[in-house]
Amino acid sequence: MDKYTKTVLTIIAVALAVIAIQNTITPAQAVGGGCGLENYRPCYVKLVN
């Protein structure tokens, strides 16, 4: 195989590994000030430039 083919196959393999691992990581939860502990008390984030 040439260098191009190996590169493309490597990128595909990495992408598949990321997809497989993505489902095993649990989402992060914000804690502090009582927000985020229950579904009815969401946390709000303000983005400032």
- Structure confidence by residue, pLDDT tens digits, 1-49: 799 999 999 999 999 998 888 877 766 665 566 666 666 667 777 888 7
Q: N- to C-terminal Cα distance for the chain?
A: 48
Residue 17: the pLDDT is: 92
**3 state DSSP class of 12:** helix
Helices within 23-46 (DSSP H only): none
Contact 36, 30 (CB under 8 A): yes
pTM above 0.75, yes or no: no
Cβ-contact 39, 33 below 8 angstroms:
no
Which pLDDT score, from 0 to 100, does residue 21 have? 86
